[in-house]
């Protein structure tokens, strides 16, 4: 099968996803446009050479609706021949977009593609698109729907992570993110966001708190205890996880992913396409996989996605030098490390969404780019990128450095 | 036009007064006859130009209309789902025709047509289909009486309001009010209904018809709000309104929390509200009727209607009462013993409208019964539910005494002294010396055989057993136990008395433990055996709750106390000697009570800890003394074990004739120990899964866990023959 190579990866810095966030004045289409422009301009591409663009976006309504990918393509002034598709695999949308873009290359449907994602959570709040799953009584009852925070706390309960465990993880994430910024580890991919006048408004991730410590996190109240009691999501979860008397609520704003705005794009193509545009490949997609898992605990999918993608690649977990799992909640990463016996030194080495935020549709593409940069910086060979996903799913990609 | 169940009087203004009055019935209900008449009336109403409008009222003092005839619902004869739907949709269609005047929704919405005005004049309770008729009227006037109940209680028998109730309620009162009314089934009073927008006017009882007519006269052309262009749900509706999205996410969680997935009616009601709020009214009522059809054709609705309504009412009316015994006059009851049981019996007896002479060994002890009632009444007074005068009058009906001579004029004796044959023998002798020759003597006992106690009586034919449950004022069941020599009159009087105190009675054979105490101990023992085996206690408790038990078996054991369990197992062993069959829980009880001092809730904790001001939680020390096993059963396996630990002993009681009929076995289980009401009771449940499946599962459990799970022979025979316990209706 044709190889899919990574030629470039860019992302915006992440702005606090509230009305006082630096990116709140920037439309989501503009965020998507700016990363597309960066891919074009950094590599000096004739956009007529690009076949297709896949962008993830989790709340595709309002100004994020109507296939925001095609809207951004037009806005970026790409050649009209470039098609765009909107992808929604909840939190893994960004990575799934890369997988789709890569699959098109592998299947010889396309020569040069872009995968990526965008989410302005400050402008189109999470959940704006409603949906049958939690709302329609038929599906809510059948799936024992609970919000993700309850699922994350259920993971902590089932797999024995204390409040101290999850807080300690969060403190380390902040430390790593701050250090990475200090050492300019993200410099290669960061595209500062510009406003309508063309002036830069944000050049760094806005939510990193280097001085976070156990004491400051300890002062925060658990976020999901009240919802567990009323309307009673704990009881719903315990009807399935009947071996527990109660759910240990350990997650709060400080050890869960932050709500932020941002976009990212990754340039993917076959060998000839790289030669044609005159850009050297940086990495190669080795394997891709998605899975479904138990939907009430919901966020344990990465373990199974990783197993599946390793199997498809004919690899063993020992063959992976670098692991990247989206920090949706601290317990998600702790459980993944526990299940696969991964050393904390080998995973999320530059921090993650707990420190820098999780712009839902874009995150998968952001952490994918971070991993490419880190492989090059550290000289490591292979990385596995994965995310937990709403509804009980997991998506994973194995990537290897080629120069 | 002539009708059998209603009358139509057209006045000079052309307004038809429709008075629903079912002949020969104390209460109006939707039965075949009324449905046919009403459909005929609506056809005439929309086509007859002489009729300008209508007022609908009831000819019964008892109320407006109490809903559907449950006997009719419980015996659907439809041969296919489609036919059942067509039957179920009939009333929906008739009511829709009434409110649209037979016009299309399109014409109404454009203003090209309007309906003739219809007002409801509600003089008394309107429940279920009764309220749904009211809702289909354009204007609703209700008599000003806070005791009038307006509601849709169908959920209590596993059904949903299937005549537009799930559609008109949310369009009038919003999704949240509609969901509360329909999923909980609790009625509201007229003022509350008015505030919610369900009705428009609350007027003096003798003005309801006049006010309704007045409205009809001054509103000759009407359209329901939901048939007007631009209609919006109060408080938001539809799949895209963020308010309704939030509402449904919460309601779905609450629905699961409350029902443990055992009551499809609750989910179906929410589905009707959700799906119905997205589509136009005519589509919405078809969806409602489809969900209704699913429920009404399910065994669950049949079981719940049969046990919780038809059989419960029959038992309470005295179905077991021997024929030919004249109705007894009970004005004063003598209660012997003013302990917990005696005081409780005193309380319910006075509440039932009788006087009580309560006797104990001295005056001070007897006064305990007064104090017991006073405590309950004080609470009601402080909450404004009872006046002080009424409370005082209540207490004045209790006469505490230590003098047997005060019993000489009582009409019935209920003895509730200490559970000791010698003590009981003594009070029987002393009491019979003073009471009238024809007075029935009832003994409240949970452990002592009645025939044995009756030996101490001079007139064993007038001696009978009554097993009350504690706390008496809360527990709904009464086991009535005729001894070997008890006569018809004793049973008749016991049932007459029961009717006054409004318990659900079952008549039970005089065997050790009677019925409920034959079944509950094996169930609780099973839970304790599971603890011993290292099954996670939380799994045991959650499995029981998942079955629909109100309380986990370990929590229940804490309530009744482990020390009582230990005492009973020791006394039984002593009494039976070599015949005693160990339950396997003796050592656990001994260790918990004597080794670890974990006696139960009232003595500092048992299986649970009871932190002051906090929520109870399982005692962490339990795992230390009964280590958690590596292999845990699945939830389904744990549920089966706890379910069959009740089904098999209940089946055994039925097979041995401890209870005469499946009705009593079902009523006793649900109202005695809270057996999962959604099943309609253990016998209904066995019928639903089939005797064959019951036997198969019981045998496989017996193989795995022990012969206590072996199904009785009678049930093997039923399985072979493919027979049900209940005869087809």
> What is the rounded CA–CA span in Å between residue A158 and residue A258?
24
The mean pLDDT value for B339-343 works out to: 97
Residue B729 has pLDDT above 60, yes or no: no
Specify the 3-state DSSP secondary structure of A398. Answer: strand
> What is the rounded CA–CA span in Å between residue A96 and residue A395?
7
Q: Is A368 on the interface with B (CB under 8 A)?
A: no
Reading the block at residue B667, the tokens are 């009523």
Residues of A in contact with B267 (CB under 8 A): 137-138, 141
- Write the CA distances from B58 to A152, B15, B94, B145, integer angstroms: 57, 16, 18, 16
For residue B238, the model assigns a pLDDT of: 83
For residue B254, the model assigns a pLDDT of: 98
Q: Is A187 on the interface with B (CB under 8 A)?
A: no
Residue B447 has pLDDT above 90, yes or no: no
Contacts for B230 with CB less than 8 Å, ≥ 6 apart: none
Phi and psi, residue A61, nearest 5°: -130, 165
Indicate the helix (H) or strand (E) that contains B412.
strand B412-415
Residues of A in contact with B271 (CB under 8 A): 136-138
- Regarding an ipTM greater than 0.85, the answer is yes
For residue B179, the model assigns a pLDDT of: 98
Smallest Cβ–Cβ distance between A236 and the set B253, B267, B539 belongs to B253
Q: How far is A57 from chain B (nearest CA, A)?
A: 19
Reading the block at residue A319, the tokens are 């063959």
Residues of B in contact with A246 (CB under 8 A): 617
The model's pLDDT over A306-362, given as tens digits with 9 standing for 90+, comes to 999 999 999 999 999 999 999 999 999 999 999 999 999 999 999 999 999 999 999
The model's pLDDT over B204-232, given as tens digits with 9 standing for 90+, comes to 999 999 999 999 999 999 999 999 999 99
Residue A259 has pLDDT above 60, yes or no: yes
Residue B400 has pLDDT above 90, yes or no: yes
What count of Cα atoms within 13 Å lies in the side-chain half-sphere of residue A171?
A: 14
Q: How far is A104 from chain B (nearest CA, A)?
A: 35
For residue B72, the model assigns a pLDDT of: 83
Reading the block at residue B693, the tokens are 């499946």
The model's pLDDT over B87-130, given as tens digits with 9 standing for 90+, comes to 999 999 999 999 999 999 999 999 999 999 999 999 999 999 99
Marked catalytic residue, from B154, B367, B415, B479: B154
Residues of B in contact with A239 (CB under 8 A): 256, 260-261, 542, 546
- For the annotated catalytic residues of A, the residue numbers are 91, 358, 388
Mutate to test the interface with A, among B170, B246, B252 (most CBs of A within 10 A): B252
> What is the rounded CA–CA span in Å between residue B708 and residue B644?
10
- Write the CA distances from A166 to A91, A155, A179, A339, B450, integer angstroms: 21, 11, 20, 16, 63
| Mean pLDDT (chain B, rounded) | 96
B132 is known as an active-site residue? yes
> What is the rounded CA–CA span in Å between residue B27 and residue B418?
45
The mean pLDDT value for B373-394 works out to: 97
The mean pLDDT value for B699-711 works out to: 97
Mutate to test the interface with B, among A59, A135, A137 (most CBs of B within 10 A): A137
The mean pLDDT value for A163-170 works out to: 98
Is A266 buried (19+), middle (13-18) or exposed (0-12) by CB count in 10 A?
buried
Pick from A26-35, A88-97, B446-455, B646-655: least confident: B446-455
Residues of B in contact with A140 (CB under 8 A): 248-249, 252-253, 256
The model's pLDDT over B237-278, given as tens digits with 9 standing for 90+, comes to 887 888 999 999 999 999 999 999 999 999 999 999 999 999
Query: Considering Cα of A367, then A369, then A375, then A376, what sign does the dihedral take?
Result: negative
User: What residue has token string 């309530």?
Assistant: B559
Residue A296 has pLDDT above 60, yes or no: yes
> What is the rounded CA–CA span in Å between residue B198 and residue B177?
10
For residue B71, the model assigns a pLDDT of: 83
CB contact under 8 A, A137 and B274: yes
Contacts for B517 with CB less than 8 Å, ≥ 6 apart: B446, B447
Smallest Cβ–Cβ distance between A135 and the set B239, B536, B538 belongs to B239
- Shortest CA distance to B468 belongs to which of B616, B332, B611, B333? B333
For residue B97, the model assigns a pLDDT of: 98
Reading the block at residue B60, the tokens are 């019964």
- Shortest CA distance to A105 belongs to which of A117, A97, A113, A94? A113
Residue B79 has pLDDT above 90, yes or no: no
Smallest Cβ–Cβ distance between B543 and the set A140, A242, A245 belongs to A242
pTM here is 0.96
Report yes or no: B118 and B140 within 8 Å, Cβ to Cβ.
Answer: no
Marked catalytic residue, from B39, B99, B132, B624: B132
Residue A368 has pLDDT above 70, yes or no: yes
Smallest Cβ–Cβ distance between B254 and the set A128, A130, A232 belongs to A232
């Amino acid at each position: 099968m044709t190889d899919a190579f990574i030629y470039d990866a860019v992302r915006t810095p992440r702005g606090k996803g509230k009305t006082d966030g630096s990116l709140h004045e920037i439309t989501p289409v503009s965020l998507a446009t700016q990363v597309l422009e960066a891919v074009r301009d950094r590599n000096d591409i004739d956009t007529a050479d690009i076949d297709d663009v896949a962008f993830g976006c989790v709340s595709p309504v309002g100004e994020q609706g109507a296939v925001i990918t095609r809207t951004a393509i037009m806005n970026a002034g790409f050649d009209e021949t470039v098609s765009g598709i909107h992808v929604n695999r909840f939190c893994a949308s960004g990575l799934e977009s890369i997988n789709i873009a890569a699959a098109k290359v592998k299947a010889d449907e396309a020569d040069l593609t872009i995968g990526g994602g965008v989410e302005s959570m400050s402008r189109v709040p999470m959940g704006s698109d409603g949906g049958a799953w939690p709302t329609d009584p038929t599906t809510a009852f059948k799936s024992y729907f609970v919000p993700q925070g309850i699922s994350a706390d259920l993971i902590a309960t089932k797999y024995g992570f204390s409040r101290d465990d999850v807080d300690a993880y969060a403190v380390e994430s902040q430390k790593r993110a701050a250090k990475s910024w200090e050492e300019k580890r993200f410099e290669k991919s960061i595209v500062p966001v510009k406003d309508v006048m063309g002036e830069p408004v944000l050049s760094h991730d806005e939510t990193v708190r280097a001085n976070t410590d156990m004491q400051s996190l300890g002062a925060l109240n658990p976020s999901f205890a009240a919802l567990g009691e009323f309307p009673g999501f704990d009881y719903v979860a315990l009807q399935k996880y009947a071996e527990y008397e109660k759910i240990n609520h350990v997650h709060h704003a400080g050890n869960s992913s932050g709500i932020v705005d941002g976009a990212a794009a990754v340039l993917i193509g076959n060998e000839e396409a790289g030669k044609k545009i005159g850009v050297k490949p940086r990495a190669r997609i080795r394997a891709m996989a998605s899975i479904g898992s138990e939907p009430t605990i919901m966020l344990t999918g990465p373990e199974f996605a990783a197993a599946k993608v390793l199997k498809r690649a004919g690899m063993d977990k020992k063959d992976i030098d670098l692991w990247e799992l989206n920090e949706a909640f601290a317990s998600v990463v702790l459980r993944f490390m526990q299940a696969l016996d991964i050393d904390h030194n080998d995973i999320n080495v530059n921090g993650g969404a707990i420190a820098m935020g999780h712009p839902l549709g874009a995150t998968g593409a952001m952490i994918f780019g971070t991993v490419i940069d880190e492989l090059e910086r550290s000289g490591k060979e292979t990385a596995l990128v994965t995310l937990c996903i709403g509804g009980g799913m997991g998506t994973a990609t194995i990537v290897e450095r080629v120069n | 036009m002539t009708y059998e169940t209603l009358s139509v009087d057209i006045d000079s203004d052309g307004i038809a007064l429709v008075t629903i009055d079912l002949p020969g019935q104390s209460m109006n209900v939707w039965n075949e006859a009324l449905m046919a008449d009403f459909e005929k009336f609506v056809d005439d109403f929309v086509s007859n130009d002489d009729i300008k409008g209508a007022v609908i009222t009831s000819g019964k003092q008892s109320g407006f209309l109490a809903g559907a005839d449950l006997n009719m619902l419980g015996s659907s004869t439809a041969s296919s789902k489609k036919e059942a739907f067509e039957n179920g949709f009939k009333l929906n269609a008739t009511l829709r025709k009434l409110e649209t005047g037979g016009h299309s929704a399109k014409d109404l919405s454009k203003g090209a047509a309007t309906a003739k005005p219809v007002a409801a004049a509600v003089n008394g309770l309107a429940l279920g289909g009764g309220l749904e008729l009211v809702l289909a009227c354009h204007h609703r006037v209700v008599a000003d009486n806070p005791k009038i109940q307006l509601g849709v209680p169908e959920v209590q028998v596993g059904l949903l309001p299937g005549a537009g109730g799930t559609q008109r309620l949310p369009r009038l009162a919003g999704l949240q009010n509609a969901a509360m009314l329909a999923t909980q089934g609790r009625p509201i009073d007229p003022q509350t209904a008015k505030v919610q927008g369900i009705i428009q006017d609350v007027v003096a009882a003798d003005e309801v018809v006049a006010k309704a007519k007045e409205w009809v006269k001054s509103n000759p052309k009407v359209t329901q709000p939901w048939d007007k262009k631009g209609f919006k749900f109060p408080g938001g509706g539809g799949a895209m309104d963020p308010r309704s999205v939030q509402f449904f996410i919460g309601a779905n969680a609450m629905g699961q929390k409350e029902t443990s997935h055992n009551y499809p009616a609750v989910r179906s009601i929410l589905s009707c509200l959700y799906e119905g709020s997205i589509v136009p009214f005519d589509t919405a009522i078809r969806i409602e009727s489809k969900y209704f059809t699913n429920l009404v054709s399910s065994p669950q609705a049949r079981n719940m209607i049969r046990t919780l309504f038809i059989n419960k009412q029959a038992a309470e009316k005295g179905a077991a009462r021997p024929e030919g015994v004249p109705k007894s006059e009970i004005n004063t009851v003598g209660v012997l013993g003013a302990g917990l049981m005696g005081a409780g019996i005193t309380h319910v007896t006075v509440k039932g409208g009788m006087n009580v002479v309560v006797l104990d060994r001295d005056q001070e002890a007897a006064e305990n019964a007064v104090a017991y009632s006073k405590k309950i009444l004080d609470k009601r007074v402080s909450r404004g539910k009872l006046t002080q005068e009424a409370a005082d009058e209540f207490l004045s009906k209790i006469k505490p005494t230590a003098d047997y001579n005060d019993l000489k004029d009582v009409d019935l004796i209920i003895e509730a002294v200490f559970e000791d044959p010698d003590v009981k023998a003594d009070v029987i002798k002393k009491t019979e010396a003073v009471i009238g020759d024809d007075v029935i003597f009832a003994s409240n006992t949970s452990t002592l055989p009645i025939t044995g106690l009756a030996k101490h009586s001079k007139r064993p034919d007038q001696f009978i057993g009554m097993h009350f449950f504690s706390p008496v004022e809360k527990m709904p069941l009464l086991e009535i136990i005729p001894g070997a020599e008890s006569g018809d009159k004793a049973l008749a009087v016991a049932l007459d008395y029961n009717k006054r105190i409004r318990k659900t009675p079952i008549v039970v054979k005089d065997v050790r433990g009677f019925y409920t105490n034959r079944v509950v101990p094996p169930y609780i023992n099973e839970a304790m055996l599971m603890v011993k085996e290292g099954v996670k206690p939380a799994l045991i408790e959650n499995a029981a709750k998942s079955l629909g038990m109100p309380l986990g078996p370990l929590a229940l054991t804490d309530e009744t106390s482990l020390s009582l369990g230990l005492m009973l197992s020791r006394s039984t062993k002593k009494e039976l000697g070599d015949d005693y069959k160990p339950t396997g829980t003796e050592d656990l009880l001994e260790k918990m009570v004597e080794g670890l001092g974990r006696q139960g809730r009232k003595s500092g904790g048992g299986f649970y800890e009871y932190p002051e001001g906090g929520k109870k939680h399982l005692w962490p020390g339990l795992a230390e003394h009964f280590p958690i096993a590596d292999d845990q059963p699945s939830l389904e396996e744990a549920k089966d074990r706890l379910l069959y630990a009740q089904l098999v002993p209940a089946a055994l009681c039925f097979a041995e004739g401890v209870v005469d009929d499946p009705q009593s076995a079902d009523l006793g289980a649900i109202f005695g120990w809270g057996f999962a009401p959604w099943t309609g009771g253990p016998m209904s449940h066995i019928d639903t899964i089939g005797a064959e499946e019951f036997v198969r599962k019981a045998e496989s459990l017996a193989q795995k866990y022990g012969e206590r799970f072996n199904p009785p022979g009678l049930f093997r025979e039923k399985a072979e023959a493919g027979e049900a316990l209940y005869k087809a209706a």
